[in-house]
Amino acid sequence: MPADPQKPTPKGRNFFWPTIETIEDAEWATKQAFYVMVLCGVLTTVFAGLAVAGVEFVKKTLMISSWAFVDAALFGLIAFFLTKHSRVAAWSGLIMYLAERIFAMVATGKVGSPIIPAILTLGLIAGVRGTHAWHRLKNETPPDAMRRAA
């Protein structure tokens, strides 16, 4: 069966700024934000558990308390709604993550390495782009419209 010349072949995807031309591209970009939210939720749960267990480094240096369980639950809730392609969840995840990073910098007085936060932020931005493109592409009726850029 010959390949459809109109349909782009899946090559390596750009994690940092994915092209969003099809429903599949939009879903892949949204999954990036989902994985970032799951990672944030898991790590926040672990550090909140360590704070509850009395680990001084987590309590004094990282300034994390048992209230971080609320943040972890919110990250999980956002991740759940990202599986439903919620634009509100995508924006909420991005805003909450950035607010948490700013709060951590202000509370500890340390900036730390910007590499991992930048990568995670780009994943969340891709999720915002992906959810918006998914809804736009899903509402377009002609089959050829599925290839239009987001």
Inside any domain, residue 15: no
Pick the closest to residue 47 from 76, 32, 67 (CA basis). Answer: 67
CA–CA distance from 108 to each of 19, 92, 111 (Å)?
37, 24, 8
Burial class of 58 by CB neighbour count within 10 A (0 to 12, 13 to 18, 19+): buried
Decide if 7 is inside a domain: no
* pLDDT tens string 110-132: 778 889 999 999 999 999 999 99
Where in the sequence is the domain holding 109, given as residue range(s)? 23-147
Question: Does residue 34 form part of some domain?
Answer: yes
Whether this prediction's pTM lies above 0.85 is answered by no
Is residue 139 domain-resident?
yes
pLDDT digits (tens, 9 = 90+) for 79-114: 999 999 999 999 999 999 999 899 888 887 777 888
Q: How many CB atoms lie within 10 A of CB 25?
A: 24
Q: Judge whether 140 lies within some domain.
A: yes
Count of structural domains within the chain: 1
What DSSP designation does 60 have? I
**In-domain check, residue 73:** yes
Whether the Cβ atoms of residue 96 and residue 49 lie closer than 8 Å to each other? no
> Is residue 8, in this structure, part of any structural domain at all?
no
The answer to whether residue 100 is domain-embedded is yes
